[in-house]
Chain A
Amino acid sequence: MNDIFYFETVDNKGFFYCQDQVYETKLKLYEFENITRGSSFFRASKSVILNADRIDFVKPGISGRFEANLENGEKVIVSRQFVPDLKKILGL
């Protein structure tokens, strides 16, 4: 499970994003959220569930949101309303 960097839904389709690969899945966002509850995964935005263990660093954006830079170089937006969930996982 920790090989998954993040899960995203696009046009009602689910995708797992790993280091270099992307896999399509029939899982819905809420289903994946239920499966990963209590783990290092958290809801980062309306369509993304992110693995906190795969974040390299975060930085604030001008738009009031945060940008999570991942270990594979990708950047994922973390909406302000979900930052407390990330803080909880990090123990802050």
Chain B
Amino acid sequence: MDMHEIIRKILQQFPVIYLGAMICTMIYCAIFDSDSVFTISYFAWMMLFSLLGAIPSLVFYTKKELSESKMRIRLVIHFVIIEVELLIMGYWLKLYHTFVQGCFFFLLICGVYAFVWVSVFYFDTKAASAMNQRIRERKKESKQQ
């Protein structure tokens, strides 16, 4: 993946991560603090969080094409960086206070991460299905000729 593609990926992931983070905030507050009141600055902090969640995509920058196994290793590294980064930021911003809340925050980050990858995989599956349909049609057309 070259740098242009990385930057494009970061800009694409950012709104998806932000949406996932907003949904997780809603769930978190519904369980732990349903009377929560948020100021405008919270939404700005969430945007920063989402951007911080997208920037580790730089892990995938490479001059050479990676094999599937090497790519999976980078995926694990990416996930760990995001977890550590957001757990530290969350603690610093006092988004959680106890160990249990910290664990739930960890799980929420996992949830957002899974949401992003599942949605990417879902749309990729649809794209692959459309391409395969067209590949089959082209092969039929070439046989008829």
B75 A66 Cβ-Cβ under 8 A: no
B25 within 8 A of A: no
Cα A61 to Cα B127 with chains together (Å): 12
A77 B65 Cβ-Cβ under 8 A: yes
Give the A-B contact count at a CB cut-off of 8 A. Answer: 62
Which of the four size classes fits the interface of chain A? 20 to 34
**Given A46-B64, A63-B72, A64-B124, does the pair A53, B138 have CB atoms closer than 8 Å?**
yes
| Interchain residue pairs with CB less than 8 A apart (21) | A46-B63, A47-B64, A47-B65, A48-B65, A53-B142, A56-B135, A58-B128, A58-B132, A60-B121, A60-B127, A62-B68, A63-B68, A63-B71, A64-B120, A64-B124, A81-B1, A83-B127, A87-B131, A90-B138, A92-B130, A92-B131
Where the two chains meet, the residues of B that have a C-beta atom closer than 8 Å to any C-beta of A are 1-2, 5, 8, 63-65, 68, 71-72, 75, 120-121, 124-125, 127-128, 130-132, 134-135, 138, 142
